[in-house]
Amino acid sequence: MRLEVVRGPGAEGCADEALLRAEVARGLGGDPFEDDASRVLTVSIAQEGPELTALMALRESEDAGDTAWAEGFSTRRGCAELISGVALAIVAQILNAPERAPSPSERSLPPSTPLPQARRTAPEPPLHEAMPAPTERWRLEAGLGATLGLGITPGAAAGMTMSVGVRRPDWSVAVEGRGLVSLAKEVEGMRLGTTAFTAATVTCLRGRHLFGCGLATLGAVRFVPEDPWNMRVRSTALFGIGARFGSAWRLSDRWSVHGYAEAIWIVEDALLRRQVDHAVTPAPLYWTSPPLGAAFGLGVTATY
């Protein structure tokens, strides 16, 4: 590009093309200007009240009306300060090519029109201030896991737990369904099979890896003896409240694995009695659930 410096009223003592060209060349390590180039960079300097103003306008050719780039400065510190700022702006514009698109107001300005005020825009705020804080949102969670239960049925019981719920970053609410099969096949000499089905509401506070939950469980325990005539009750209700503590680890944005241990206070316990003997009242007791039950689980959770 070719450089032109136009000095208006009050700016006759300011530097000409030679000094500005030398300042730009020193900043770039070489002279970017050519005397026969078609692109023209015009720098117009004028006195506006107590301030000196400079307008830079880059055009594709001397006769073209469109302005490819424009910027302005003003200062009260004299010509030397103004020329130094102009040189730095030209260097920055060349180093930061491709050039920014001019605004409509800049395209309409004639290259010789000085700006009444400095055209340098205010600095953008830091990134952490400019960007709004991310808003918390609800996310849907679905989980599947293996569970080992103690105290809910005669002997230990193994089974599966499924859950669905919603989560925010630091807490969650879910509904769980659990099916357990007792590993003990005999109680007090009577051979039987025992299953338990429970539903629970689980509310958790969550940290980065650890979580703690409160839960309420309602379910039923069903007994299936080999001799159907020696047992009084085939199924009985179960209700308990408890606490759960565990750890969760993310595998990806959607998938995570977790493990936990929980303790349950059995408020309404399950009972297993013999068939009523008219000579013995009440019916003899085979088994009753203990005051406290426990469960241990491992599983995976998908978050949507």
Determine the Cα–Cα distance for residues 122 and 130; give it in Å rounded to an integer. 14
Same domain, 112 and 146: no
- Between helix 79-95 and helix 17-28 the angle, nearest 10°, is 50
Helix (H) or strand (E) holding 123: none
Same domain, 198 and 237: yes
Model confidence at 216: pLDDT above 50: yes
Residue pLDDT, tens place only, 249-301: 989 878 999 999 999 999 988 877 766 555 555 566 678 888 999 999 999 99
Query: Is 134 part of a structural domain of the chain?
Result: no
Same domain, 60 and 10: yes
Q: So what's the pLDDT on residue 238?
A: 85
Give phi and psi for 83, each to the nearest 5.
-65, -35
Same domain, 121 and 201: no
Same domain, 160 and 267: yes
Q: So what's the pLDDT on residue 276?
A: 58
Same domain, 149 and 270: yes
Choose one of 101, 125, 149: the last residue of a domain. 125
Highest mean pLDDT among 132-136, 191-195, 246-250: 246-250
Query: Is 99 part of a structural domain of the chain?
Result: yes
3-class state of residue 210 by DSSP? strand
86 close to 119: Cβ distance less than 8 angstroms? no
Residue pLDDT, tens place only, 16-51: 788 888 888 888 888 888 888 888 888 888 888 778
Confidence bin at 125 (pLDDT 50/70/90): very low
**Which domain range does residue 110 map to?**
2-125
Determine the Cα–Cα distance for residues 226 and 293; give it in Å rounded to an integer. 26
Beta bridge mates, 288: 271
Based on the structure, what is the number of domains in the chain?
A: 2
CATH of the domain at 172: 2.40.160.20
Nearest to 95 by CA among 27, 2, 44, 40: 27
pTM of the model: 0.53
CATH of the domain at 111: 3.30.160.100
Choose one of 125, 159, 181: the last residue of a domain. 125
Same domain, 53 and 177: no
Same domain, 167 and 261: yes
Query: Is 133 part of a structural domain of the chain?
Result: no
Q: So what's the pLDDT on residue 270?
A: 80
| Higher pLDDT among residues 150 and 77, named by residue | 150
Same domain, 112 and 256: no
Same domain, 144 and 115: no
